[in-house]
Structures are given as structure tokens and as C-alpha cells.
Amino acid sequence: MLRLPRFALRQPTTLAEALALLAEAGPQARVLAGGTDLLPNMKHELFTPGVLVSLAGVTELRGVTVTEDGGLSLGAMTPLSELSQHPEVLARAPALAQAAGLVAGPQLRERGTLGGNVLLDTRCQYYNQTHFWRQALGFCLKKDGALCHVVEGGQRCVAAASADTQPALMSLGATVTLVGPGGARSLPVEGLLSTDGAKPHKIAPGEVLTRVHVPPTPTGHRGAYGKLRERGAIDFPLLGVAVRLDLDGAGLVAHGDVVVTALAARPKRVTGAGELLRGRALEGSGFAAGSAFATAVARVAELAARQCKALANVPGDHAWRSEMVPVMVRRTLLAAAEGRGPVHPG
């Protein structure tokens, strides 16, 4: 039995009220969204806030709207289940809908929110454990200790970004709106995430992530998300791959992007992938081995394998996870090209 540590719950109904409660409670407060990540972490005593400010009653933070420019404005408190089935999200940002639909299991997607997933704590097999377990090992860099058990002698926490929506949002060039006591600011998703696993988000105390904005995608936009995990549901990703292919009127790739997650604290964009994919023809040439597109995909997969090395930070054999990087990149690129997805073995 895992009990929650004691705290006082605040249930504001407006954003202004939530911000005031957060400011009043100061550093002992945390924001509660769906609770599917925060509450288990609190049960493991990874966080022991004195005050939780629940955003469940703040209705202005819910819902999906299409903006005037054809982009998407996604409320941070929109449940992942709603996001994964929303026709506008499926049409305009398929990789995001697929990623949201593969988070955890059905019940957790009912409660889990987009904002909560974007601000998901990084995960590590030496961190996501009970206090008793962590104490027996002398704690770790990320919480209460000075040792890293993943990288011997490591001075920087390498806990893994495990949110499925992060790489999808990065491939879509999405930005987030943070509202705090000093007003609102907007920054790209990759700007929100840091490379330090111990402090993975650059969100200031007292700030609330209110909306995620996805810029308009062109008519020829295709996207897919690939998730590697041991079971068909519930598990966090052992690898996550988000892919974007924007086709021009002639069926040539105008813009391509590949982002891989569950490696270290921040999802990794495969550098050079866009250049390899640009100008390749999808229509007509087919996806048969030897076609120009298939060759480009194979080279992107090689590039990803060189750039992405898995660490022993999340469960599963990290050598196998490294081997699976090119496999997942190739499968997800082909799925996106064919307008399929998600790629989800098992």
C-alpha cells in the first residue's frame, strides 16, 4: 500500500485564482493537473509539497480550438484521450494524436492531460522507486543523493524524457504559453525542456502552463509516432520516435523532421535528417527497397543510430534499445509516408 504524504488541496475555478493561490503558498506548492504522474511520484516521496493547487476546475484551460491561421490551440488541461480522438488534431497533427493515444493505458489517458504530459518528470530506474528502495542504494543525483547509478562518476543527471507528446510537439514546432505572476510568456517546446534530468523543465515557480500552440501544417503534412515498449499498454516508452514529412504539390518532401525520445533528459532531434529527406519523391517511386525515398530513409536511420545511444536509465536492455533506434526510425518514417501510424510493436 502506498499512501500519499499529507498536503492541503486547493481547487480554484479560474486561472487568476490558481495563480494567486500558487503565489500565496510559495515554494511548497505544486500544480496538480491529471495527477497520473505527480501522485505516484508523491507516493514514492519524490515530491512532498505542502499545498497542491488543482487545475481540474479551471475550465478555461480545457479544449481544442483551431486558430485563425489554421493552427491548433490546445488547452493544457485537455485530457489525452480527448486529444487522441479529436478530428482536428487527427487531421492537422497526426503525430500528436497518435502519441497522445499511446500514453499509458485507457484509464490514465482519461485523467492525464496534455500539459501534464509536456511537463512529465524525467524517469530513471534508480529514481522512480519508493523512498525505502532509494535509501537502500544511497539515493541518486536526481533526488537526495550525489551519485549517479547509470553513468559511473556522472555529475549530470541522465534521467530520460518519457513523455510521448514532447517529440511529437517538437516535430510540429509547437510553442507553450506559461502564465505567471509577472504575466504570460511563450516559448518553443524544446526551449521549455532542459538537458539536465534533475531539473528537466525551465518553468519558473508559480508559473502555469496554460496552452500549447501548434502552428498550421500544410495540406501535404504527414506525421507519425512510433513507440517501443515491452507491453502493448501502460508502459512508458523505451524509445519514442516522432516523424514529420511535409509534401509539396508535386509529392516531394519539402520539410522532414525526426525526433527521438526516452534517451536522456530532452528528446533529440536527428540532425541532418531533414536535409536527407528534402526533395525526395514519395508518390510514384513507392516505398520499395532501392527507391530514392527508401534509400533516404535508410540513411536517416543510420544517422539516428549514430546520434542516439540509449543509456541504462529506463528499464529494458539498453543495448537492445540502441539497436532499435534505426529500426523504429525507419518504420515510423515509412508509416508517415504511407499516412499510417502509430508504429507500436507488441
Partner 1 sequence: MSLGRFCATIRGVLLHVNGDDHEVSAPDHWTLLEVLRYRLGLTGSKQGCDKGDCGACTVLLDGRPVISCLVLALEAVGHQVTTIEGLLPAHLAQGGSGADPLQVAFDRCGALQCGFCQSGMILSARALLKRNARPSETEVREALAGNLCRCTGYTQIVQAVALAVAEATGGALPPRAWEQPPEGA
Q: Which residues bind partner 1 (CB under 8 A)?
A: 1-9, 11, 24-25, 28, 32, 35-36, 39-40, 43-44, 48, 50-52, 54, 56, 104-108, 110-111, 232-234
Q: How far is the CB of 77 from partner 1 (least distance, A)?
A: 12
Q: How far is the CB of 285 from partner 1 (least distance, A)?
A: 32
Complete DSSP assignment for 99-151: HHHTSS-HHHHHH-BHHHHHTPPPB-TTTSS-HHHHHHTT-BTTBB-S--SSS
Q: How far is the CB of 6 from partner 1 (least distance, A)?
A: 4
Report the first-to-last Cα separation within the chain, whole angstroms.
Answer: 30
Given the complex with partner 1, which of 81 and 171 has the nearer CB atom? 81
Q: How far is the CB of 286 from partner 1 (least distance, A)?
A: 28
Residue with cell 525542456: 193
Residue with cell 510521448: 164
Given the complex with partner 1, which of 2 and 319 has the nearer CB atom? 2
Given the complex with partner 1, which of 25 and 270 has the nearer CB atom? 25
Given the complex with partner 1, which of 54 and 194 has the nearer CB atom? 54
Q: What angle do CA 328, 242, 69 make, to 5 degrees?
A: 160
Complete DSSP assignment for 262-323: SSSSS-EE-TTHHHHHTT-B-TTT-S-TTSHHHHHHHHHHHHHHHH----TTSSS-HHHHHH
Residue type at 206? G
Q: How far is the CB of 34 from partner 1 (least distance, A)?
A: 8
Q: How far is the CB of 51 from partner 1 (least distance, A)?
A: 5
Given the complex with partner 1, which of 125 and 322 has the nearer CB atom? 125
Q: How far is the CB of 157 from partner 1 (least distance, A)?
A: 22
Cell matching residue 180: 505567471
* HSE-up of residue 315 (Cα within 13 Å, Cβ side): 8
Return d(Cα 300, Cα 34) in angstroms, integer: 36
Q: What angle do CA 235, 239, 96 make, to 5 degrees?
A: 85
Question: 151 exposed, middle or buried (CB, 10 Å; 0-12, 13-18, 19+)?
Answer: middle
Given the complex with partner 1, which of 40 and 215 has the nearer CB atom? 40
Given the complex with partner 1, which of 37 and 246 has the nearer CB atom? 37
